[in-house]
Structure 1
Amino acid sequence: MTYRVLALDLDGTLLTRQHQIVPAVCDAIHALRERVEVILVTGRHHTTAQPYYRQLGLQTPIICCNGTYVYDYGRQMVVEADAIPAQAAAQFIALAQAKSHELSLVIYVTEAMVYAQRQPAQYIASLKDWAETCPADYRPKIIAVPSLEQSLAHNIQVWKFVVEGETEKIRAFADQTWIHAHFSAEQSWSNRMDFSWQGNSKGRRLLSLLTARHYSPAELVAIGDNDNDISMIRLAGFGVAMANANDTVKSCADCITPQTNEGRGVLDIIETYF
């Protein structure tokens, strides 16, 4: 089979724990992009994915927030999206901040990520430190606000929520009837879960993009490491799980990389199948 598209997750797949791309992997993608469509498919906001997009020299659209939207950096615009309706977003915030749950929230909105000053998620500190290393002209906006509810009034789109807290509390929150009926919930880290509007997934949005660009899923290699990557791994003609992926992800894949994201991981797949 000739594969014509490579879909790559970022965190835990293309990026190391230090949020860097292994130089040999970067070089291989630079060479590959001349004859294969390389598409980033990430849970990140487009502003926090942009430094890596630029590093790789890509020109393809990027799929962000677990399939919530497609962003075109060249035109600096969203080209396809299913955002969370404002009323549903407000109800979600109220439920998550109830005393019975007491969860930390980060909201991915139109051009920024916002969080409550009084209860910041733990990963925000490291994310802000990383953002400060980015060039000023495309530095991600990570904003502390006194009220998450009030922040909704100043943004056109709500892309997704990141919920952080004790695992049991997050699961109890996700299992509520209203949440389950209106949101797609996917584990993104050991103590974090992403919530996007019902029906959104990496696989669904990737299929739409492939169709628009006249590719078949059979021509696709997709590589990921976490639960939010399962839908695109299953979609692909050749689905790959990283060696550092959990067992659930590995069980859905056609292949497991010999090395993790800290080593040759993605590189071995590029050299073998492209």
Structure 2
Amino acid sequence: MIQLILSDLDETLLNDDGSIHQKNIDAIQKFTQNGGYFVPNTGRSYKSVTGTLNTLGLNQARQYVVSYNGGAIIAIEPDGKEEVVAQHNMSLDLAKKIFELGQIQDDVDTHIYTLDKLFIYNISPADKQYMSERQVPYTEITSDDLTFLANEKPIMKVIFEHSEPAVRQKIADNVTNELALSVLLTFSSNRYVEFNPKGVDKGVTGLELADILHIDHANTAALGDNLNDAAQIKAAGVGVAVANAKQEIKDIADVILTTTNNDAAVADFIENYVI
């Protein structure tokens, strides 16, 4: 019996415009009212998931979010109080090296996630629109001097945005050729190339949350669409690919849905495989 559902957000739970299908809301509420845990497992910061949680209206005694591709587990109480349950951050030195290696051309923009903030360097117009549609808060920075981060909370991940797959792959190669033993590489949303510390991913931390909740790994499910979801889809008891998922994700999934993120794929899974 599935007791914990870990779900990616963008291109999985959320429609392309960043909204949530009403069928998804209804199915998730039914699942949680019956004692299940529905937990966003996202590359985003937990601060940017607050609106999604409010829309879902879970009203659980304690809501959890797995953020930063497994970088942290955050518990959120009904009164809004937040607790960092688990944290897997990177050093400032590593973040600086990743940042420097990713600056391969002038039109690359860079996101640096700390535990509670997102800083974006050289943000592109397309990325600015993407972030606005999803109501993601961020601070724009204009200097490539990252020394100020020493006074911020721990750094969780560094990602780069570019519209061209070849540019993203070149960034990936440039960073991993130098830092292969220190970073974990993933791609997401057909626009980002992402770097976490080695050993940190959605699957490892998703199962860490299952252990915290005393839920057997066999009773977990994970839904996703893109390459940064591969780890959780492999790790969960039931790995689920939405219809719009990349073929690499479908190839490793236990369940391949016929519905896309725009057709309430999460509700499809809950109604036909869980409840």
The alignment's TM-score, normalised by the length of structure 2, stands at 0.89
**How has the CA–CA distance of structure 1 residues 215 and 171 changed in structure 2, closer, same or farther, with 3 Å as cutoff?**
same
Aligned-partner Cα distance in 1 for 2:261–2:242: 7
- Shift in CA distance, 79/174, structure 1 to aligned 2, threshold 3 Å: same
Q: 1:150 to 1:102 in 2, by over 3 A?
A: farther
Q: Compute the RMSD of aligned alpha carbons.
A: 1.8
Give the stretch that moved more between structures: 213-222 or 162-171.
162-171
Alignment map for 1:1-274 (pairs within 5 Å): 2-34=1-33, 35-58=35-58, 59-74=62-77, 75-97=81-103, 103-116=108-121, 119-121=122-124, 122-128=126-132, 130-131=134-135, 140-148=136-144, 149-165=146-162, 166-175=164-173, 176-273=176-273, 274=275
Contact 1:28 1:267 in 2 (8 A): yes
Q: Per-residue deviation at 1:154?
A: 3.2
Q: Which letter does structure 1 place at the counterpart of 2:143?
A: S
1:102, 1:61 → 2: CA distance? Answer: 36
- Do 2:4 and 2:37's aligned partners in 1 also have CA atoms closer than 8 Å? yes
Shift of 1:271: 0.9
Q: Which residue type is aligned with residue 141 of structure 1?
A: P
- Which secondary structure does the structure 2 equivalent of 1:262 belong to? helix
Do the aligned partners of 2:99 and 2:158 also contact (CA within 8 Å) in 1? no
- Tell me how many residue pairs correspond in the alignment: 262
**Higher alpha-carbon deviation: 170-179 or 244-253:** 170-179
CA distance in 2, matches of 1:251, 1:95: 32
Contact between 1:10 and 1:40, CA under 8 Å: does it hold in 2? yes
User: What SS does structure 2 have at the residue aligned with 1:239?
Assistant: strand
Q: CA deviation at 1:98?
A: 5.1
Q: Confirm or deny: 8 A CA contact 1:96 1:102 kept in the other structure.
A: no
| Whole-Å separation in 1 of the counterparts to 2:204 and 2:218 | 15
The verdict on how the C-alpha distance between 1:243 and 1:130 changes in structure 2, with shifts beyond 3 A counting, is closer
**Pairwise CA distance, 1:247:** 0.5
Q: Deviations over 1:139-183 (max 9, x none)?
A: x53111122414423312111112123422332332343232211
Residue 28 of structure 1: CA displacement?
Answer: 1.3
* Contiguous gaps of at least 5 residues in structure 2: none
User: After the TM superposition, which of the residue ranges 256-265 and 10-19 deviates more from structure 2?
Assistant: 256-265
User: Does the CA contact (< 8 Å) of 1:71 and 1:79 recur in 2?
Assistant: yes
AA at the equivalent of 1:79: V
Could you tell me how far apart the structure 2 residues matched to 1:98 and 1:192 are? 15
| Aligned mates of 2:30, 2:39 — CA distance in 1 | 14
Assess if the C-alpha contact under 8 Å between 2:23 and 2:267 holds in 1.
yes
Q: Deviations over 1:49-90 (max 9, x none)?
A: 111112223433110011011112223132211111011111
What amino acid sits opposite 1:24 in the alignment? Answer: K
Range with greater deviation from structure 2 (155-164 or 140-149): 140-149
Give deviations 1:219-250, integer Å, cap 9, x for gaps.
11211111111111111221110000011000
Aligned residue for 1:61, secondary structure, equals strand
- 2:104 and 2:171 in contact (8 A); partners too: no
- What is the CA–CA distance in structure 1 between the aligned matches of 2:9 and 2:131, rounded to whole Å? 14
SS of residue matched to 1:66: coil
Q: 1:182 to 1:265 in 2, by over 3 A?
A: same
Deviations 1:179-217 (A, max 9, x none): 322111111022321111111100000111111211111
CA pair 124-154 structure 1, distance change in 2 beyond 3 A = farther
3-state SS, counterpart of residue 42 of structure 1: coil
Distance 1:110 1:211 in 2: 22
Contact 1:66 1:201 in 2 (8 A): yes
Code of the residue aligned with 2:94 in structure 1: it is A
Name 1:135's counterpart in structure 2: none
